[in-house]
């Protein structure tokens, strides 16, 4: 069997048989999370008389705090196992990646461990997030002036 034939065989055998199911679960979980986010924001606006912008920030911080605490208590992994990428793609996944790197490298020193590895996964999100925000802002300026 030559390499190409073997690679084709491997590709055909390595497919996730539940890909549609997983995608559906992620879609639902992500949607539910988004709905909660909206409810929370509305609640903040009502309760504390905040503006939209500030309330959104507060909800964001709440979600980050919850994700970090759940990561610390090793519950987040089980949630991911159930709800797949529905909880990884939103801000909760970002918070989880930072918190898990911090837990992981806590014994490796402040500079070489915590400092160097805190954004091991999150760093690319920050970098490419900023770059794409900049590009979209330019597009917006060009179109809407």
Q: How many other CB atoms sit within 10 Å of the CB of residue 93?
A: 18
Q: Which of 22, 40, 57, 64 binds other proteins (CB under 8 A)?
A: 22
- On whether the CB atoms of residues 84 and 26 are closer than 8 A, the answer is yes
> Which residues make Cβ contacts (< 8 Å) with residue 62, sequence separation at least 6?
40
Q: Which two tokens stand for residue 88?
A: 């990884």
Q: Which stretch binds other proteins (CB under 8 A): 42-50, 56-64, 99-107, 132-140?
A: 99-107
Alpha-carbon distance 145 to 135, whole Å? 15
73 lines the binding site for other proteins (CB under 8 A): no
94 lines the binding site for other proteins (CB under 8 A): no
> Among residues 9 and 35, whose Cβ is nearest to other proteins?
9
> Among residues 55 and 70, whose Cβ is nearest to other proteins?
70
- On whether the CB atoms of residues 92 and 67 are closer than 8 A, the answer is yes
Distance of CA 100 to the CA centre of its chain: 12
Give the shortest CB-52-to-other proteins separation in angstroms. 33
Q: Which two tokens stand for residue 15?
A: 């497919």
71 lines the binding site for other proteins (CB under 8 A): yes
12 lines the binding site for other proteins (CB under 8 A): no
Q: Which of 41, 44, 55, 76 binds other proteins (CB under 8 A)?
A: 76
Q: What angle do CA 133, 136, 140 make, to 5 degrees?
A: 130
Residues that bind other proteins (CB under 8 A): 1, 3-4, 6-7, 9-10, 13-17, 22, 71, 74, 76-81, 84-85, 88, 96-97, 99-101, 103-105, 107, 117, 120-121
């Amino acid at each position: 069997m030559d390499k190409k034939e073997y690679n084709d065989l491997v590709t055909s055998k390595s497919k996730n048989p539940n890909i549609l199911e997983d995608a559906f679960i992620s879609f639902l979980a992500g949607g539910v999370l988004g709905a909660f986010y909206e409810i929370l924001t509305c609640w903040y606006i009502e309760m504390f008389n905040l503006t939209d912008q500030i309330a959104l920030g507060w909800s964001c911080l709440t979600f980050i705090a919850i994700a970090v605490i759940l990561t610390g208590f090793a519950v987040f992994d089980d949630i991911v196992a159930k709800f797949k990428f529905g909880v990884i793609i939103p801000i909760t996944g970002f918070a989880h990646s930072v918190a898990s790197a911090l837990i992981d490298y806590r014994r490796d020193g402040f500079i070489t461990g915590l400092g160097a590895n805190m954004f091991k996964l999150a760093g690319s999100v920050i970098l490419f997030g900023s770059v794409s925000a900049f590009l979209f802002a330019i597009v917006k300026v060009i179109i809407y002036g």
